[in-house]
Amino acid sequence: MVTDKQALREQIADRARALGFAACGFVAADAAPRTGERLREWLAEGRHGDMLWMEEKADRRESPRALWPEVRTVIALGMSYAPAADPLRLAGEGGVGRVSVYAQGADYHDVLKKGLRQLARWIAESTAHDVKLFVDTAPVMEKPLAHAAGLGWQGKHTNLISRAHGNWLFLGAIYTTLDLADAPHAHAVAPGHRDLCGSCDRCQRACPTDAFPAPYRLDARRCISYLTIEHRGPIPHEFREAIGNRVYGCDDCLAVCPWNRFASAAQANRAFLPRAELAAPALADLLDLDDAGFRRVFAGSPIKRIGRGRMVRNAAVAAGNSGDPALLPALERLAGDPDPVVAEAAAWASARLRGSGGEAGSAVEVLAAGPARVDVGNDGLGALARGIEVEVDHAQR
C-alpha cells in the first residue's frame, strides 16, 4: 500500500499523464471558498436562463464538502483538445454550419470518464480510500477547483486557461477521502494559479452577442453556446443574426485568447480529432435530418444530447443567415415541421433569405483591429508573451 503523500501524488500524476490527461493538480476540498457565493449571485441574477438544473442542486454544487462531507482532497484533471486548424476559419461560409471545436470529435464526457475511472480505480485499490469521479454533468464547479489546484486561472471569458495548453482543456475531477493536498508539490501551484489576463480584453470584444456584463462574468442567456445547445425553445430574435452559421456552440471568445499560442495540437487527445462530417457540415444536410439520421450522424458525439429538433432549429437559423437561396425549398418544407420550434425557425429563415441581410460583429473584426497587450508581470514570460497575435487565415466574414 502506498502511504507517502509526495510519492503518491507523483504516482497519480504519472498515471494521469499515461491515461491522456495533460494536467493534474491536488487541492484540499475546502480550498475555493468564494465559489459558492459567486454561484449564488449568478443564479440570483438569473444568468443561467432555463438551465434549471444549475439552480436545483446549487447547495450541493457550491462546495465539494456539501456534495460529499467525507471528501478531503480534490484531484483536478485536464485533457487537451487544442485544435490544429483555426477555429474561426468557417466564419461567414454561407453553405456550412460551424460546430464548436469541443464537439467535432468524440464525446469528451465518455473519453474523460474512461480515464478518470481507471485512475480512480487505481487510487482506491492502492490506498483503500474512497473516490468519486466527475466530469461536467455532476453538481461540481470544475473551473474554480481546477484553478485552486494550480491547473491555470479563470480568464475574463470565465474558462480555465493553462499556460501550457491555453483554454483548450476539458476538465474533470476525482474527489477522495485521502489527504493529499497539504503541501505544495511539482504539479500544482498553491493556493491557486495567478490570473494572467492583465489588461487584455480580446474575449470581451470578440463576443458577437455581448454576453459578458463584466470581465469574469457571463450571462448565459446571451451566449451562443447556451442558445444553440442548452436552450430548448425558439432562439430569441435579437440573437439570430449574430449566430451567423454556428449550429452548435461557439468558440469566438476562446479562439482569440492569446494564451492559446502556447497550446499545441500535438498535446490533444487523439479521440478529439475532428470527424469530417462534424468539422464542416453542409447546412443542406442538416436541414434534411430526421430523427434516425440525426442519431446516426451524431452517435458518439456530445451533439447527440440536443436531439434532432434543436439541431434543425439551429441549422434553420444559420440557413436564414446564409444568403443562399438554394436552401429555400428545404426551409419551406420545414416551415410545416411537426416540431413548432423548428417550423418557426424555418419560417423566419425563409423570410430572411427572401429579404436577405448581413451578420453582426465577431472575433474576426477584433483580430483585424490588431493584437491586444497581455501583462504577464514578473513571471519571466514577458519576452515570450509580448507581441502575441492570434492569426486567422481569413480577413472578413
The residues annotated as belonging to the active site are 136
Question: Residue 50 binds which entry of ligand B12, ligand SF4, none, with Cβ cut-offs from 5 to 8 Å by kind?
Answer: none
Which residue lies nearer to ligand B12 by CB, 132 or 352? 132
Question: Could you say whether residue 157 binds ligand SF4 (CB under 6 A)?
Answer: yes
- Does 253 appear as a known binding residue? yes
Window contacting ligand B12 (CB under 6 A); options: 9-17, 247-255, 265-273, 365-373: 247-255
Q: Are 195 and 153 within 8 A, CB to CB? A: yes
Instruction: Classify the C-alpha dihedral 263-269-272-275 as positive or negative.
Output: positive
CB of 167 to ligand SF4, least distance (A): 7
Question: Could you say whether residue 155 binds ligand SF4 (CB under 6 A)?
Answer: yes
**From candidates 20, 77, 91, 251, binder to ligand B12 by CB under 6 A:** 251
Which residue lies nearer to ligand SF4 by CB, 199 or 378? 199
By three-state DSSP, how is residue 259 classified?
helix
Question: Could you say whether residue 142 binds ligand B12 (CB under 6 A)?
Answer: yes
Taking CB positions, which residue lies at the least distance from ligand SF4? Answer: 155
Q: Are 22 and 172 within 8 A, CB to CB? A: no
Which residue lies nearer to ligand SF4 by CB, 127 or 204? 204
**From candidates 143, 147, 156, 308, binder to ligand SF4 by CB under 6 A:** 156
**From candidates 171, 297, 347, 392, binder to ligand B12 by CB under 6 A:** 171
Element (H, E) at 78: strand 73-80
Distance of alpha carbon 220 from alpha carbon 237, whole angstroms: 16
Interface of this chain with ligand SF4, residues 277 to 296, rule: CB under 6 A: none
Instruction: Please report where in the chains the cell 423566419 appears, as a residue.
Output: 348
Binding mask 174-213 for ligand SF4 (x = CB under 6 A): -----------------------x--xxxx--xxxx-x--
Instruction: Please report where in the chains the cell 475546502 appears, as a residue.
Output: 30
Interface of this chain with ligand SF4, residues 249 to 268, rule: CB under 6 A: 250, 252-253, 256-259
- Does 160 appear as a known binding residue? yes
Q: Are 162 and 76 within 8 A, CB to CB? A: no
**From candidates 131, 253, 255, 289, binder to ligand B12 by CB under 6 A:** 253
Name, in order, each residue with C-beta under 8 angstroms of 172's C-beta and a sequence gap of 6 or more.
76, 77, 78, 79, 112, 113, 115, 116, 133, 134, 135, 136, 142
Instruction: Please report where in the chains the cell 508581470 appears, as a residue.
Output: 377
| Radius of gyration in angstroms for the set of CA atoms belonging to the chain, rounded to a whole number | 22
Report how far apart, in Å, the C-alpha atoms of 121 and of each of 117, 124, 125, 266 are: 6, 5, 6, 28
Q: Are 392 and 86 within 8 A, CB to CB? A: yes
Cell representation of residue 29:
476540498
Report how far apart, in Å, the C-alpha atoms of 198 and of each of 143, 172, 215, 262 are: 19, 27, 11, 17
**From candidates 5, 15, 38, 305, binder to ligand B12 by CB under 6 A:** 38
**From candidates 225, 228, 322, 350, binder to ligand SF4 by CB under 6 A:** 225
Which residue lies nearer to ligand B12 by CB, 315 or 343? 315
Distance of alpha carbon 393 from alpha carbon 89, whole angstroms: 7
How does strand 153-154 pair with strand 160-161?
antiparallel
Which residue lies nearer to ligand SF4 by CB, 96 or 223? 223
Q: Which residues are registered as beta bridge partners of 98?
A: 246
Question: Could you say whether residue 172 binds ligand SF4 (CB under 6 A)?
Answer: no
- Does 169 appear as a known binding residue? no
Window contacting ligand B12 (CB under 6 A); options: 14-22, 217-225, 269-277, 374-382: 217-225
Question: Residue 170 binds which entry of ligand SF4, ligand B12, none, with Cβ cut-offs from 5 to 8 Å by kind?
Answer: ligand B12
Question: Could you say whether residue 83 binds ligand B12 (CB under 6 A)?
Answer: no
Instruction: Please report where in the chains the cell 480577413 appears, as a residue.
Output: 395
Question: Residue 81 binds which entry of ligand SF4, ligand B12, none, with Cβ cut-offs from 5 to 8 Å by kind?
Answer: none
Question: Could you say whether residue 160 binds ligand B12 (CB under 6 A)?
Answer: yes
Q: What are phi and psi of 335, to 5 degrees?
A: -65, -15
Residues forming the site for ligand SF4 (CB under 6 A): 155-157, 161, 197, 200-203, 206-209, 211, 218, 223-225, 250, 252-253, 256-259, 374
